[in-house]
Amino acid sequence: MKDHLETSIFGDHDDEPHDEVAAPVQQPRTRREAREAELAAQRAARQEGKGPKGRPSVVRRLAVIVLALAVVGGGVAIAYTYLRPVVAGFLESNDYPGPGSGSVRVTVAQGAGGSAIAQVLADQDVVKSTKAFIEAAQDDPKSAGIQPGVYEMRKQMKATDALAVLVDPANRIVQRVVVPEGKWAKEVYPILSEATGIPVAQYAEAAKDAKALGLPASANGNVEGYLFPASYEFEPDSTAVDHLRQMVSESTKRLDALGVTPERMERTIIVASLVEAEARFEEDRPKVARVVENRLAQDMPLQFDSTVNYATGKHGITTTDADRASDSPYNTYKVKGLPPGPIGNPGESAIKAAAQPADGPWLYFVTVDPAKGTTKFAVTFEEHQANVAEFQKWCQSNPGQC
C-alpha cells in the first residue's frame, strides 16, 4: 500500500515569476527533474549582480553615493538620514540564526512546490523569509525529494535546519499499521484502532457509509472483502472514514487494473476471499479459483469449511457435523453457489487468481499437510478420497491440530 508517498513535491513549477534564464534544450520529464531545473535556474539568477560575498552590487554603489555626499558640505547628515535604512535593509540577514524554540506542526500539501513550502514555513514563523528557505533548497539536491505530510518543527529555525527536517522522510508524523491478508472486517478494526487510537466502534460505524467509502454498488453496502491488506501510513488528523476509504480504494484499484468492471467486483472479491482462506501458496491460488468455477459450472456445492467457519465465527481447518448442519447462507455444504458475501479481505495474489483462474479440470482439492501448506488437486472423487486419506493421516499424527 503505499502509492502515494514517494512523489516529489518539489517537482511542480510554481506560478511565481522568476528572472529570465536561457531556455533548456529539453523540458524536464518528471517532477523531480522539473524542480531540479527550477533550482538551477534560480541559483544562476541569484549570482547575477552580486559581489564575492553574494551581496547585491547595489550596496557598493550606495556606499559610493554616501562617500560622495560626505565630501559635499552637509552631505554626511543627508546620507545618514536618508540612505542608512536602505543600506541596512540590504545588509540585514534574511535568516534566523537558529536553532529555534517551541513546537509547531507544519503540513506540506500534496503537490506543493518549493515556493509554496517556503511560504508556509514563513507564515508559521519557522523561517524568517521565503528567500532564506528557497536559497537553502537551491543548494541542497535532496530538497527535490521532500514528501507531503505533517512535520514537527520549531519556531524561528535557521533555514538550512528547517530544510534538514523536511528532506528526511523519517520526520513525517504518520500512524503506521500493517493489516495481514485474510482478516475478517471485525478483526481489522482492532488492528487499526491499536495503531491510531480511534475506537473500534468508530470504524464499525464508518463501515456503514458505503458512499463515503467508495464501495462499488455491487457490494450492497458490505465493506467485507474490500479492506485491502497492506502496510499503511495515515496522517495524524485523519478519521476512521479516511482510513477505510483508503483501504477500499486499494482494493478497487487492483480490480480495475485486472479489468474487473464495477458490476463484477463483488463476485470477484467473494471468490478471492475463498481463495485467500483456502490456499497458502501463490502458485496454488489460480487452481483453487478454477475449482470454484468448475464446481459452480457443474452445479456442485462448494463444500468449503472456510465459509462455514466464517458463519460460526471460528477459525480452523475443519468443521464439526453440527457446524455443517447449520442453516446459514454461508454454509456451502448445504447451499449451492457462492456465499452471499466475501468471507474475509483478500490480498493481491488472491484477487488476481479470482480474476484470472488457471485452466484445468480439477473439481477437488485438499491441504494434505497443513503445517507445510501442501495442497493436492484432483479431477475424480476417487483421487480426492486418496488425498483426503493422506490429510486424515496427518491429523492422526498431529493430535489437536485438526
Please indicate, yes or no, whether residues 139 and 238 belong to a single structural domain of this protein. Answer: no
CB atoms within 10 A of CB 63: 13
pLDDT digits 0-9 by tens, 316-369: 999 999 999 999 999 999 999 999 999 999 999 999 999 999 999 999 999 999
- Which is nearest to 9 in space by CA: 106, 121, 144? 144
Point out the domain boundary residue: 144, 171, 198: 171
Number of C-beta neighbours around residue 92 at 10 A: 8
Amino acid type, 165: V
Q: State whether 165 and 184 are in the same domain.
A: no
Contacts of 367 (CB under 8 A, 6+ apart): 278, 280, 317, 373, 374, 375, 391
Residue 149, by phi and psi: left (phi above 0), alpha (psi -120 to 50) or beta? left
Residues 21 and 143 in one domain: yes
Q: Which of 17-31, 293-307, 362-376 has the lowest mean pLDDT?
A: 17-31
Q: Which three cell numbers stand for residue 367?
A: 491441504
Distance between CA 327 and CA 286 in Å, rounded? Answer: 30
- Is 135 within a domain? yes
Number of CB atoms found within 10 A of residue 90's CB? 11
Rounded CA gap, 48 and 57, in Å? 9
Statement to judge: residues 326 and 347 lie in one domain:
yes
Q: Are 28 and 149 part of one and the same domain?
A: yes
Average pLDDT over residues 150-156: 94
Instruction: Give pLDDT tens digits for 200-239.
Output: 999 999 999 999 999 999 999 999 999 999 999 998 889 9
Residue 15 lies in a domain: yes
> Is 311 part of a structural domain of the chain?
yes
C-alpha cell read off for 361: 479440470
Whether residue 303 is found in the same domain as residue 380: yes
Residue 71, pLDDT score: 52
- Are 228 and 242 in the same domain? yes
Q: Does residue 219 belong to any structural domain of this protein?
A: yes
Q: Which of 156, 115, 155 is nearest to 134 (CA)?
A: 115
Residue from 196, 195, 145 nearest 171 by CA = 145
Burial class (CB in 10 A: 0-12, 13-18, 19+), 292: buried
Domain boundary among 155, 171, 187: 171
Q: Are residues 16 and 151 in the same domain?
A: yes
Whole-number Å distance between alpha carbons of 143 and 78: 45
Is residue 248 located within the same domain as residue 353?
no
Cis-peptide into 99, omega within 30 deg: yes
Model confidence at 4, in pLDDT bands (50, 70, 90)?
very low
Grid cell, residue 327, equals: 442453516
Say if residue 35 is in the same domain as residue 135: yes
H or E stretch including 151? strand 149-155
Do 336 and 219 share a structural domain?
Answer: no
**Bridge pairing between strands 149-155 and 101-108:** antiparallel
pTM exceeds cut of 0.85: no
Indicate the number of domains in the chain. Answer: 4
Instruction: Average the pLDDT over 169-189 and give the result.
Output: 95
| Alpha carbons 143 and 201: distance in angstroms, whole number | 41
Query: What is the mean pLDDT of the segment spanning 186-192?
Result: 98
Indicate whether 53 belongs to any domain: no
**Element housing 103 (H / E):** strand 101-108
Give residue 201's pLDDT. Answer: 98
Tell me which amino acid residue 374 is.
T
Instruction: Tell me which DSSP letter residue 197 carries.
Output: -
Does residue 120 surpass a pLDDT of 60? yes
Residue 23 counted as domain residue: yes
Q: Residue 298 carries which DSSP code? A: T
Choose one of 223, 257, 291: the last residue of a domain: 257
Q: Do 38 and 158 fall within a single domain?
A: yes
Please check whether residue 198 lies inside any domain of the structure.
Answer: yes
> Which pLDDT tens digit goes with each residue over 95-114?
999 899 999 999 998 889 89
Helix axes 262-278, 348-355, angle to 10 degrees: 120
| Mode of pairing for the β-strands spanning 231-234 and 175-178 | antiparallel
Residue numbers of the domain that contains 23:
9-48+95-171
- Domain annotation covers residue 161: yes
